[in-house]
Amino acid sequence: MSKPIPSADEIRSALAFDVQRLRSAATRLEQVDAALLRLRQDLEHRTNVLTGEGTHQERPELGGDGTVAVRYAQALATAQLAKKAKLGEILGKVGVGQLALIASMAVSRWVGALHRVAHQAHPDYVLKGHIDAGRLAHRMLATLRPRDKLKSGCGQLASAVVAAELVHADNLPFVKEQIVEGLIRGRSARGIHTDADVIAAVSRALRAAASLLESMAETAEPAVRALTTQAERVEASVAEALDKARGGAS
């Protein structure tokens, strides 16, 4: 007698720890990205303010007390700093490859999108679209991390089991169907012999995704703090540098 197919709830239970780790890692990286966005917006706003002060009709022109020159220099330095306040810029400087960055952002933003659909029920096709997006992220991860030996054909289950923890309760029956369907699809993957093999392959995929996001966040967080400190000092640093330059020229 053949062994019965595990239920969606049994599969979810087996993968619960890995799903939670991925969710935490995705949230952490999204927080880094959000902090950079806020910093960039603040710097861009400050650039506009400084530029406006430098061109104000009542300000003395160049050759007066030097206010205009200082404001323009501060605006330029602030604008240049704003361009650095991007995850790609920060990670690129420490040797993170473009594919790794794309894959990590695809995973974290996919999890973020699932969080946003949790507040209300959606048609099945909307949920299917999110699950398919997760499958694409799984495929990218398999390409990026061949040493993890991720299995082609297991992306649907990996995606659906994450979605099940985030979607609205009214959408859960459909997602559970996708979980069971994903398990059946995963049986066709090379090197897979049992349902336990499928679940183990999905566990590896979820852990690989979480590990990638964790490493990105660990790399980016100190750089964000350093950039924030630099942003707090940029105007004063420019003013001091110009003051020293004028003192040396006099």
Residue extents of the structural domains in the chain = 8-242
Q: Give the per-residue pLDDT at 95.
A: 73
pLDDT score of 110: 92
Contact 158, 133 (CB under 8 A): no
Residue 1: per-residue pLDDT: 38
Q: What is the helix (H) or strand (E) element at residue 112, kind and residue range?
A: helix 98-116
Predicted TM-score (pTM) of this structure? 0.84
Give the count of beta carbons closer than 10 Å to the beta carbon of residue 226. Answer: 11
Residue located via tokens 């420019």: 238
Number of CB atoms found within 10 A of residue 111's CB: 27
Are the C-beta atoms of 167 and 114 separated by less than 8 Å?
yes
Q: How confident is the model at residue 62 (pLDDT cuts 50, 70, 90)?
A: very low
Residues present in the chain in total: 250
How much is the pLDDT for 149?
76
Closest CA to 234 of 50, 7, 95: 50
